[in-house]
């Protein structure tokens, strides 16, 4: 059986020297174990990371001349590292704050087990699902922090280039009725998700993504988009509503199915309502359990992409009509009181008015999905922060959205620079939660 001091730490890095420095330093506060950094960074960051690793005893820098990505990087390590016992895989944006976690994981990992860590339910494409009693749901071992038996891992499909890189292995275990080889640890779940005070590990969440501009998984996302566009949508569009697209279902629904029941928000603010898909979801999910107050802000004049000649040219008068029709459906036959407040106007003016009315630290949940122009997104975030309670969650949609291709794109014409700037400036007041590809979730920690 593997001695705990012989368990190697393995992480995959890309262009984030400061994360690797923090990770290694935090590991060395508690452990002298071997550290492997599997790196696919560009030339400048690669040299920085190499120098950091070379300074350490019992650490090895393994370099590739291309972005190897998380899944293939783990697969290389599983196949090629000179170890046969247990190995700890952890994200590069982790920081160890207390020792003893490796020992706890080691104690519960059986010799025949695949791995221990955070187990959540996903569909066969790797997206989170919330329905628990569906035989099609797949147990998914999250690679952010997992202790695994390398010899067992080598018997199953290896990690792949994918937003959920463990999906092939998990499908193999699921389809052969071997998901019992996985073990869920609640404290790992809490630390990876990051909704509560960390037990052992602080997970910055999307650290590499925020610093490097995305997951760089365009092929995977394009294939998923094509697959979704070829479905009839029976399971994606909410019944009885008039929705003309599946934006909410594709980007948010699976994650909200997990997040919203956990945080149980009662006072909600939505910036950008369009046809009301997200508002209807919130009403349907929450109004059967408790009273809610929901504020919806929109101009219903559309963004630049909705204007004549835009990439998503749309009749916004019809959109507004559908919003009101959908709200009527959502409000009907609900058990609890729903205080719906519709604000038609520019978000900066409406948000300022809400602040002037004394609604500082008022909302449990703020969803920003309005204008995609960076100055507007930054304004919505800063004003939304004032309105958000300490402990409340702010969600940003369209993190990687852009109307134009990269070669023609202005940084001011997409949300990402604004979201990055806001989270960097408010880093000591907002904690980024582990999040999906197209959205950012952050919890307010102080005023």
Q: For 213-258, what is each residue's pLDDT tens digit?
A: 444 444 444 444 454 444 444 333 445 788 887 778 777 887 788 7
| 243 contacts: CB under 8 Å, gap ≥ 6 | 237, 275, 277, 322, 326
Rounded to whole angstroms, the Cα distance separating 206 from 16 reads: 11
- CA–CA dist 422, 399 (Å, integer): 12
| Range scoring the smallest mean pLDDT among 11-25, 280-294, 388-402 | 388-402
Q: What is the CATH number of domain 4-203?
A: 3.90.550.10
User: By mean pLDDT, which of 10-14, 251-255, 283-287, 435-439 is the weakest?
Assistant: 435-439
Residue 357: pLDDT above 60? yes
pLDDT digit string, tens, across residues 49-89 = 999 999 999 999 999 999 898 999 999 999 999 999 999 99
- For domain 231-444, the CATH class is alpha beta
Confidence band, pLDDT 50/70/90 cuts, at residue 133: low
Q: Which of 101-110, 241-250, 316-325 has the lowest mean pLDDT?
A: 241-250
Confidence (pLDDT) at 122: 84
Contacts of 335 by beta carbon, 8 Å cutoff, 6+ apart: 287, 288
Q: What are the start and end residues of each CATH 3.40.50.150 domain in the chain? A: 231-444
128 has a pLDDT exceeding 80: no
**pLDDT at res. 124:** 84
Q: Is 177 left (phi over 0), alpha (psi -120 to 50) or beta?
A: left
pLDDT, residue 411, reads 64
Query: Which residues 6+ apart lie within 8 Å of 364 measured at CB?
Result: 263, 264, 265, 266, 267, 268, 389, 391, 392, 393
Radius of gyration of the chain (CA): 23
Distance, in Å, from the CA atom of 268 to the CA atom of 290, rounded to the nearest integer, reads 13
Q: Identify the DSSP state of 14.
A: S
pTM: predicted TM-score of the whole model, two decimal places: 0.54
Comma-separated ranges of CATH 3.90.550.10 domains in the chain: 4-203
Name the pLDDT band for 402 (thresholds 50, 70, 90).
low
β-pair partners for 396 = 368, 440
* 360 vs 222 pLDDT, higher one: 360
Q: Is 372 helix (H, G, I), strand (E, B) or coil?
A: coil
């Amino acid at each position: 059986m593997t001695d705990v001091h012989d368990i190697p730490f393995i992480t995959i890095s890309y262009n984030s020297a400061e994360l690797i420095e923090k990770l290694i330093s935090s590991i060395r506060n508690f452990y002298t174990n071997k550290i492997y950094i599997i790196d696919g960074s560009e030339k400048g960051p690669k040299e920085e990371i190499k120098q950091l690793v070379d300074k350490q005893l019992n650490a090895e820098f393994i370099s590739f001349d291309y972005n190897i990505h998380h899944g293939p990087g783990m697969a290389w390590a599983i196949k090629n590292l000179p170890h046969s016992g247990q190995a700890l895989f952890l994200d590069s944006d982790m920081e160890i704050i207390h020792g003893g976690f490796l020992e706890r994981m080691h104690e519960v990992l059986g010799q025949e087990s695949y791995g221990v860590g955070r187990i959540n339910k996903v569909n066969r494409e790797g997206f989170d699902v919330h329905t628990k009693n569906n035989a099609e749901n797949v147990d998914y071992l999250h690679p952010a922090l997992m202790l695994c038996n390398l010899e067992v891992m080598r018997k199953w499909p290896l990690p792949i280039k994918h937003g959920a890189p463990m999906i092939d292995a998990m499908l193999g275990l699921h389809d052969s009725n071997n998901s019992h080889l996985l073990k869920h640890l609640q404290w790992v779940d809490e630390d990876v998700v990051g909704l509560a005070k960390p037990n052992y590990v602080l997970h910055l969440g999307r650290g590499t993504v925020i610093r490097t501009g995305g997951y760089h998984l365009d092929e995977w996302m394009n294939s998923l988009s094509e697959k979704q566009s070829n479905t009839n949508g029976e399971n994606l569009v909410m019944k009885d509503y008039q929705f003309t697209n599946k934006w909410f279902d594709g980007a948010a629904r699976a994650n909200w199915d997990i997040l919203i029941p956990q945080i149980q928000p009662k006072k909600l603010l939505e910036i950008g309502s369009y046809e009301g898909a997200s508002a209807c979801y919130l009403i349907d999910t929450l109004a059967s359990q408790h009273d809610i107050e929901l504020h919806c802000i929109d101009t219903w004049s559309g963004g630049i992409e909705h204007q004549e000649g835009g990439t998503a040219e749309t009749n916004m008068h019809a959109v507004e009509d559908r919003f009101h029709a959908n709200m009527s459906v959502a409000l009907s036959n609900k058990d609890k009181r729903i205080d719906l407040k519709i604000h038609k106007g520019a978000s900066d003016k409406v948000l300022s008015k809400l602040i002037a009315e004394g609604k500082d630290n008022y909302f449990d949940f703020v969803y920003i999905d309005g204008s995609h122009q960076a100055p507007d997104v930054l304004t919505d975030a800063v004003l939304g922060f004032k309105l958000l309670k300490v402990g409340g969650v702010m969600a940003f949609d369209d993190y990687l959205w852009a109307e134009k291709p990269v070669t023609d794109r202005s940084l001011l014409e997409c949300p990402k620079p604004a979201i990055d700037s806001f989270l960097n400036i408010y880093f000591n007041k907002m904690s980024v939660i582990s999040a999906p590809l197209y959205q950012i979730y952050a919890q307010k920690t102080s005023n």
